[in-house]
Structure 1
Amino acid sequence: MPLSFLNRLQHVQLPVRVANPEEIRHVSVLLATGLIEAEITTLKPTSPYVCSRMATVIRITEDGRSEIAKMGNVPAPVKTFMQFSRGLRLM
């Protein structure tokens, strides 16, 4: 659900890269509704098993922060991520 993904985003250091297709759909919905700023890019596939799209979430907008506040105290999910050399992380 996009709002639970938005809640997860508030607990990670931004910018963050997202490669999971379901999470990219969440990013797309949140971007379209103005709750986040993000870039969705299409990659050249290097093999049949590589994800062809990636999203970079840049920040949560004021509208996004207001929506998080409306949700109340939702416990933070425990999630690991990988860190890249330029400071971007993969959720």
Structure 2
Amino acid sequence: MPLKFLRDIALRSFPVYVTDREVMKRVAVLKATGLIEADISPPLLMSDRFSPHEVAVISHITIAGHVELARESSEIA
């Protein structure tokens, strides 16, 4: 699911702003794996790292992210 999201954001203009709680989890995974650069605001409830955040701002897809997208495209072809 995060790779589908990576494909989706590759088609958008940057920066990409995310406020949806479920999508925020995908942003966190892609950021942790080094596929995107993003700033994620801290949770509104510090006791729950997936509690609502204010916003995540995706600044760009990293070189590793573009490599992953290219690899996926070559596997489909």
**TM-score normalised according to structure 2 size:** 0.79
The one-character-per-residue Cα deviations of 1:40-77 (angstroms, maximum 9, x if unpaired) are 01376xxxxxx83121000000000000111117xxxx
- Cα RMSD between the aligned structures? 2.0
Could you tell me which residue of structure 2 aligns to residue 14 of structure 1?
14
2: CA distance between counterparts of 1:26 and 1:8? 12
Could you tell me which residue of structure 2 aligns to residue 70 of structure 1?
71
Could you tell me which residue of structure 2 aligns to residue 2 of structure 1?
2
Q: Which runs of 5+ in 1 are unaligned?
A: 45-50, 74-91
Could you tell me which residue of structure 2 aligns to residue 79 of structure 1?
none
Asked whether the equivalents of residues 34 and 64 of structure 2 are also in contact (C-alpha less than 8 Å), the reply is yes
SS at match of 1:17: strand
How many residue pairs are counted as aligned between the two chains? 68
Larger strand percent: 1
Q: Aligned partner of 2:70: which letter?
A: A
Tell me: CA distance 1:22–1:52, structure 2 relative to 1, closer, same or farther (3 Å).
Answer: closer
Matching of residue 31 in structure 1 with residue 46 in structure 2: no
1: CA distance between counterparts of 2:41 and 2:10? 22
The list of structure 1 runs, each at least 4 consecutive aligned residues, that deviate by more than 3 angstroms after superposition, is none
Q: What is the deviation of 1:10?
A: 0.5
1: CA distance between counterparts of 2:42 and 2:52? 6
SS at match of 1:14: coil
Q: Which runs of 5+ in 2 are unaligned?
A: 45-50
